[in-house]
Amino acid sequence: MTDTSTTEAPRGAEVADTAAEHESNATRRRLPSWLVGGRGPARYAVIAVWAAMTLLYAALLPETFANAGTFATIFGSQQALVFLAAGLLCTIIVGEFVDMSLASNFGLSATLVAVLTVTHGWNVWVAALIAIAASTFVGVVNGWLVVKVGVNTIVVTLGMGTFLTGIALWAANLTTVAGLPIAFSKIALFKVFGLPLSFYLGLLLMLGFFYILEFTPLGRNMRFVGANREVSRLAGVPVTRIRFLAFVSGGAIAGVGGVLTAAASGGYDPAVSHSYLLPMFAATFLGTAILQPGRFNPLGTWIAVYFLATGVLGLQLLGGTTWVSSVFYGGVLVIAVTISTVLHRRSR
């Protein structure tokens, strides 16, 4: 007669170990990739460079850079870029890599709130709502043309961006429109722990975006659509709806960012809208090398925004003129796209 007690125990242990392994793998899948290991220190390389660059500037410029005012300038002046990058992430994550109209849409919103309030005497809060609604509508039109009609994304967004810049310049009569109520500026400039409220709004936006992408079915579907539309469609994912809403969300976020920027500066010059385009792409692509290598991600993009701001400000304090920002942003964009391509190829 065979004694099964010695054989059943190991089998039970193997089953328990297998179940524990499956549970561990499931837990790892639920958590963000940057919390469960992966590419090791590579995900923090840009952060390390940021720290080293900060220390270098502080050593070279102890009186002008190494003070609280400089860091308040860095963290308190980039909210426009944070909102623009978040708007770009909406479309880029679902596979629409080039939305060239976001900066102009942002400028349209900022121009509208200033023109309607200062030039035409509207209530500033009503003007702000109209401006956000107009930018959202632009997102609707972009989404309809690209997703529903099937027009090329570059053609639609490049043409729309040029059109919106022209509309904003016409509305502002080719001048800077200033004179928004001081009370309105508090939605952007009210200080909390030494930083303006708009900084925390931008951080909250990116944290909310991060949560949606990592912990909700919508976020997983957005990633799925960006990876392969046809497979997503066959799997029952509403591909058309997700792509369309990505354009709408990007337009709405750009509109809110434009209103906050106008509030912070008391007005707006539509001629400067195009200057945000290159930094927006540079920060978004550089973000793929931070925290989640090879993937567009909100927190990495948020860090990239302030990495770029630190680099540009330090070079300007060292004596660089206005060309420094173009050289720095352009160089970082080329490097960031290269890193993104390499990391994406490795992840495959």
Q: Is the pLDDT of residue 260 over 70?
A: yes
Q: What is the pLDDT of residue 64?
A: 87
Q: Is the pLDDT of residue 127 over 90?
A: yes
Question: Domains along the chain?
Answer: 40-347 (1.10.3470)
Lowest mean pLDDT among 94-98, 170-174, 280-284, 296-300: 94-98
Q: What is the pLDDT of residue 294?
A: 81
User: Chain-wide mean pLDDT for the chain?
Assistant: 86
Give percent above pLDDT 90 in the chain.
63
Q: What is the pLDDT of residue 154?
A: 92
The token pair at 162 is 């040029």
Cβ(310)–Cβ(53) under 8 Å? yes
Give percent above pLDDT 70 in the chain.
85
Q: What is the pLDDT of residues 280-310, one digit of tens each?
A: 999 999 998 888 888 899 999 999 999 999 9
Cβ(259)–Cβ(110) under 8 Å? yes
Q: Is 63 exposed, middle or buried (0-12, 13-18, 19+ CB in 10 A)?
A: exposed
Q: What is the pLDDT of residues 321-336, one digit of tens each?
A: 677 777 888 888 788 7
Q: What is the pLDDT of residue 156?
A: 94
The pTM score is 0.86
Q: What is the pLDDT of residue 26?
A: 43
Q: Is the pLDDT of residue 14 over 70?
A: no
Lowest mean pLDDT among 65-74, 99-108, 194-203: 65-74
Q: Is the pLDDT of residue 163 over 60?
A: yes
Average pLDDT over residues 102-124: 96
Q: Is the pLDDT of residue 274 over 60?
A: yes
